[in-house]
Amino acid sequence: MTAQPDQTGDSNGRIIISVDAMGGDAGPSAVVAGIAKSAEKNPDIGFILHGPEDTLKPLVARRRILEGRVAFRDCSDVVTMDDKPSQVVRHGKKTSMWSTLESVKKGEASGAVSCGNTGALMALSMMRLRKLPGVNRPAIAILWPSLNPQAFNVMLDVGADVRADAKDLLQYALMGASYARNGLELARPRVGLLNVGTEEHKGRTELKEAHTLIAEFADTANFEFVGFVEGSDIPGNAADVIVTDGFTGNVAIKTGEGTASLVGELLKQAFKYSWLSQLASVLAITSLQRLKKRIDPRRVNGGVFLGLNGTVIKSHGGADATGVSAAVKLAFTLAQSGFSEKLAARVASIEELKQDAATVASPESQKQEGR
Amino acid sequence: MTAQPDQTGDSNGRIIISVDAMGGDAGPSAVVAGIAKSAEKNPDIGFILHGPEDTLKPLVARRRILEGRVAFRDCSDVVTMDDKPSQVVRHGKKTSMWSTLESVKKGEASGAVSCGNTGALMALSMMRLRKLPGVNRPAIAILWPSLNPQAFNVMLDVGADVRADAKDLLQYALMGASYARNGLELARPRVGLLNVGTEEHKGRTELKEAHTLIAEFADTANFEFVGFVEGSDIPGNAADVIVTDGFTGNVAIKTGEGTASLVGELLKQAFKYSWLSQLASVLAITSLQRLKKRIDPRRVNGGVFLGLNGTVIKSHGGADATGVSAAVKLAFTLAQSGFSEKLAARVASIEELKQDAATVASPESQKQEGR
């Protein structure tokens, strides 16, 4: 494949996704199986695949659907789960992860997908793609099963940075709302700020400041601010976008995942209890599978890095073909909606407004703008 | 009832629990039903009940099991869920909550139980019972369903204070380990410090400091320090005591509760899907009830306030008779084991050791003491 005038498409008008074949727990064969799955469902998608060509070419050759839809970038090195981000940034030039981001940087691809080491992927993404002007801390956003009509909430940050001040939280609100519009097709998403209670006097100082800031920009950025929300609202229906710092977000999603597996494990034990309960479990099996599918993390696989010049999707390290395919689909959807450009424009315009507000607004007028 | 030489027992040698009859969502009748349940199961328990006598006496008279086992303290006022803690501290002298704590302060009762406003209860407890010498921030500890052999982990702080520095986290570790020994009968509990990853270089500064401190005092305080744990370990089997600040702890438990109800709700929907799945649900009902019982929050109802001169149990605001009875049982168990006195002695001895360490220990010897 040669570079085309339209940087995001190949000669067949396909949208090209840059995929790191290495670094996932299941190895390159799961990644190739995943992109084959995506190729089958979606004729408008093409790939640049990064990793050792000797390994990848035979895997791709076995999938007829991928014929003519995959370009290769040969790389000898792999980022492992144990590699420290700082090491990878300094010495990772020959890794498949580095190469994967390079294709987005050069404009050969509209988005990157990697199953590798999260910390290294974020550090490399920040170095190679750079932060959007006006963004202090990029964030990782995920989709979380919820009682919402769209069945998922957006939650950010879930671990890009362990700290966030009030301005960072405002950025997260803007970026999360933009993501919900483009990823979940919500025209006017409801944004909530995670706290220990919904009363306005509760919580840490930076949260009270962020409450004021986010309220102020809600109308301009076209989202509804529902104020403080609690942990129980993450899987609930009070908001579509849950804003928090990376420390709290990371603990919350892992607690949620852990609780879901505890319930699953205990359900299994409960059904093994007696002869009758075993019979019941056989009859209940399709119902349980329906439930499992509804909350299957593989179906919504993909943390999106927000705040960079380009779309990067972090797939789960243990992703199988279904998981990789879901991450690729997300990259495609965001590319198709022009998300990256829209987000950049949104952040830039708010940045201007913030500077204006800082110059001209009196406390009185700020109060009126808020809610 | 008159005051006895043995301050924790009445003339029949019963252990006396001070119970706030007011402030719960279900009203005083649920509280009276709860203490009746406890009285039935446990002949060694007696009560002091706080609230308007006109309301309480008829409720108690209807339960024959409570005959001669309840003393009353008449109070006209009630702390509501909307009352601000600062207001209650200033003007709450006539409330049932205040009176409930007073019985512990005077030594009439060995522990207090209230279903009322958490913030107000903590503020009043700190003012009336005072913090233990050496404790900077008291904590609220709860039991959380887990895959452990004992079926529950202790987690603290879950919301007494939104901030905690390294020394506070050390105190939480000591208090949590002591609680696990006396409440869960674990001779040498495993203590974990909640973080975003288990590697020692991860997380916030105060967590790295706390890691060093807790490791240093693990042997002296007779617990095993397992280092950093993640959100998924809260319902897991990596530790028996999970230490974190009140902000993170509060978000984590509410996320866990929310996720469990989401799964429950979706399970219900899954079973309603078709005629066959409805049939399956009928057959599965005992298995599901077994599961529900296993993770029923009412069975482990009761956040314990740690770090005060006296035991205070915060029952869930929405507790029914089963919930109140569980909270009373916890207060009884802790009183019987002499928990309050043991904890005070433990905190005091570690406080001395800390001062010794600060005076004599070189960095080298500290390293050897740690792990």
pLDDT in tens, B161-171: 888 999 999 99
Nearest CA in chain A to B284: A280
Distance, in Å, from the CA atom of A96 to the CA atom of A168, rounded to the nearest integer, reads 31
- pLDDT above 50 (res A362): no
Question: Per the CB < 8 Å rule, is A248 touching B251?
Answer: yes
The strand pair at B15-20 and B111-114 is best described as: parallel
pLDDT for B12 beyond 90: no
Judge whether residue B370 has pLDDT over 70: no
What confidence tier does B278 reach under pLDDT thresholds 50, 70, 90? Answer: confident
Q: Residue A273: which of B247, B271, B287 has the nearest Cβ? A: B287
Taking contacts as CB-CB distances below 8 angstroms, the residues of chain A near B237 are none
- Type of residue at B191: V
**What confidence score (pLDDT) does residue A11 get?**
65
Residues of A with CB below 8 A from B295's CB? 262-263, 266
Q: Give contacts of A231 with chain B, Cβ < 8 Å.
A: 250-258
Are A254 and B287 within 8 A, CB to CB? no
- What number is the average pLDDT over the span B338-348? 86
Domain boundaries, chain A: 1-130+308-337, 133-301+339-371
Q: What is the pLDDT of residue A300?
A: 65
Taking residues B218-238, report their average pLDDT: 94
Which one is predicted more confidently, B204 or A284? B204
Of B244, B258, B287, the CB nearest to A232: B258
Asked if residue B371 has pLDDT above 60, the reply is: no
Residue B133 has what DSSP assignment?
T
Q: What percent of chain A has pLDDT over 70?
A: 90
Q: Give the residue among A16, A7, A20 at the shortest CA–CA distance from A99.
A: A20
CATH of A1-130+308-337, one of 3.40.50.620, 3.30.70.990, 3.40.718.10, 3.90.920.10: 3.40.718.10
State the pLDDT at residue B9: 55
Which tokens in the block code for residue A180?
């919900």
- pLDDT per residue as tens digits for the range B203-216: 788 999 999 999 99
CATH of span B141-297+339-371 = 3.40.718.10
Whether A360 shows a pLDDT value over 90: the answer reads no
Distance from CA of A80 to the nearest CA of B (A): 15
- A60-105 per-position pLDDT tens digit: 999 999 999 999 999 999 999 889 999 999 999 999 999 999 999 9
Candidates A259, A266, A288, A295: best to mutate against B (most CBs of B within 10 A) is A259
Strands A303-306 and A311-314: antiparallel
Give mean pLDDT, residues B74-101. 94
CA-CA distances (angstroms) from residue A248 to A254, B171, B302, B368? Answer: 10, 21, 24, 33
What is the pLDDT at residue A296? Answer: 67
For residues A216 and A237, what is the distance between their CA atoms, to the nearest angstrom?
Answer: 23
Question: Which of the residues A162, A229, A262 would you substitute to probe the B interface, choosing the one with the greatest number of B C-beta atoms within 10 Å?
Answer: A262
Give the integer Cα–Cα distance in Å for A144 and A151. 8
User: Per the CB < 8 Å rule, is A159 touching B196?
Assistant: yes
Share of chain B above pLDDT 70, in %: 90
Which of A169, A201, A287 to substitute to test the interface with B, most B CBs within 10 Å? Answer: A287
* Predicted-complex ipTM score: 0.83
Q: How far is CA B360 from CA A358, B285, B349, B350, B365, in A?
A: 52, 63, 16, 15, 9
Give the pLDDT band (50/70/90) at residue B362.
very low
Give the CATH number of domain A133-301+339-371.
3.40.718.10
- pLDDT of B201 > 80? The answer is no
Residues in B closer than 8 angstroms to A253, CB to CB, are 231, 255
On chain B, the residues whose CB falls within 8 A of the CB of A276 are 283, 286
Q: Which of A55-59, A172-176, A318-322, B48-52 has the lowest mean pLDDT?
A: A318-322
Look at residue B98 in the predicted model and tell me its pLDDT. Answer: 97
Residue A162: the pLDDT is 87
Strands A70-74 and A15-20: unpaired
Percentage of residues in chain A having pLDDT higher than 90: 60
pLDDT in tens, A5-14: 334 556 678 9
pLDDT of residue B359: 55
Which residues, including other chains, have CB under 8 Å from residue A360's CB and lie 6 or more apart?
Answer: none
Residues of B in contact with A291 (CB under 8 A): 263, 266-267, 269-270
The answer to whether residues A133 and A347 touch, using CB atoms and an 8 Å cutoff, is yes
Percent of chain B whose predicted confidence (pLDDT) is above 90? 60
Interchain proximity A251–B247, CB inside 8 Å: no
Residue of chain B with shortest Cα separation from A283:
B280
Least confident of A102-111, A179-188, B92-101, B195-204: B195-204
Distance in Å, alpha carbon of A73 to nearest chain B alpha carbon: 32
Do B265 and A147 count as a contact with CB atoms less than 8 A apart? yes
- CA gap A228, A194 in Å, rounded: 6
Residue A301 has pLDDT above 60, yes or no: yes
Q: Of B159, B203, B234, which has the smallest distance from its Cβ to A258's Cβ?
A: B234
Number of CB pairs, chain A paired with chain B, less than 8 A apart? 189
Confidence of residue A299 (pLDDT cuts 50, 70, 90): low
